[in-house]
Amino acid sequence: MPTKLIAVLIAVSEDRPMVLTLEGGRVLPSGPLEAGHRSLQTGLRLWVERQTGHALGHVEQLYTFADAPDTDATDERSVLISYLALTRIHSGEHGWRNWYDYFPWEDQTTPDGRALVARIAAQLGDWARAAPPALGAARHQRIALTFGLEGLGWDDELVLQRYELLWEAGLVPESSPPAGATVRGQDMAGDGRRILATAMARLRAKIRYRPVIFELMPDSFTLLQLQRTVEAVAGQAMHKQNFRRLITQQDLVEETADLAPDTRGRPARLFRFRREVIGARRIAGSKLPLTRPV
């Protein structure tokens, strides 16, 4: 039973979140774990460098799957260990794709995205109604929750749940009994899209409590560039003044002496990430009513 290492490399370029792919966007960089690899991560780094020429920086493990036995029924099922890597695009690289090409409904920054969700919700509604009453009601509930219908808010972290719901409903080409119509969005080979969804969900969750967003930023940047990067990842628009308050209050960044070049309106101050805070405690509050230590 071979073990495979697979990487989701993410970067943000021109305010769009990108993922590094091979073979025309159909597969993610990957390779088998070999006895010579000093650790899982070093094995992964070797494969990614060999296949894409891209050296890895910040890497974290995502999830381990036993992939569905391939078309043929040998017991040569492999174990797939997936990783998320955050990086920056170097000029001249290719294979980078906008992740919303794979999950168009995950971009909720535009009216288009919201309209798409409405259409998907309708298709899913049909699927729920096609089931016997009890099951249908459960499906209906699940749809409302994952897609934020009926006044429930959109939860940007439910990427995987939404994909799996569409999969079950037969609305993506990968579905095992695919329905007639499928939802817009490019697919991938094997479990590729599921792994990408896992990566997106993890990243969206993580930027809330760790300063990982700066792994995707250049050395210096304006607060608006930072905001656009977060928005690209989260797929949601934010309140500008409050965003800036949040960032500055937490001492995550420090001013540089420079202003951003060639802007339109008023030139913006350039900031730099304060690397010192990286090891420091998490961003958010504890959400548990602790007693102050005596």
Dihedral sign for Cα 15, 18, 24, 26, please: negative
What's the closest the beta carbon of residue 136 comes to a second copy, in angstroms?
Answer: 16
Instruction: Confirm or reject binding of residue 110 to DNA (CB under 7 A).
Output: no
Residues forming beta bridges with residue 123, ordered by sequence position: none
Under 8 Å CB-to-CB from 19, ≥6 apart: which residues?
Answer: 8, 9, 10, 28, 96, 97, 98, 99, 102, 196, 199
CA 148-153-158 angle, to 5 degrees, is: 60
Candidate list 265, 275, 276, 279; residue touching DNA; CB under 7 A = 265
19, 196 in Cβ contact below 8 A?
Answer: yes
Closest approach, Cβ 272 to DNA, in A, equals: 14
Q: Is 277 in the site for DNA (CB under 7 A)?
A: no
> What does 134 bind: DNA, a second copy, none (CB cut-off 5 to 8 Å by kind)?
none
Binding map of DNA across residues 212-241, x = CB under 7 A, - = no contact? ----------xxx--------------xxx
Q: How many residues make up the chain in this entry?
A: 294
Between the CA atoms of 116, 117, 119 and 123, what dihedral angle is there, to the nearest 10 degrees?
140
Size of the site for DNA (CB under 7 A): 27
Query: Which of positions 236-255 make contact with DNA (CB under 7 A)?
Result: 239-242, 244-246, 249
- Residue closer to a second copy (CB basis): 257 or 290: 290
Interacting residues with a second copy (CB under 8 A)? 1-3, 33, 35, 37, 39-40, 61, 63-66, 75, 77, 79, 81, 108, 114, 141-142, 145, 152-155, 157, 207-209, 230, 234, 236-239, 242-243, 245-246, 279-284, 286-291, 293
Cα–Cα distances in angstroms (integers) from residue 192 to residues 45, 46, 79, 167, 196, in the given order: 19, 20, 14, 13, 6
CB burial class (10 A; 0-12, 13-18, 19+) of residue 260? middle
CB atoms near residue 141 (< 10 Å): 12
Question: Does residue number 257 form part of the binding site for DNA (CB under 7 A)?
Answer: no
Choose from a second copy, DNA, none: what does 152 bind? Cβ within 5-8 Å by kind.
a second copy
Partner interacting with residue 268 (select from DNA, a second copy, none; CB below 5-8 Å by kind):
DNA
Binding site for DNA (CB under 7 A): 222-224, 239-242, 244-246, 249, 260, 263-269, 284-287, 289-292
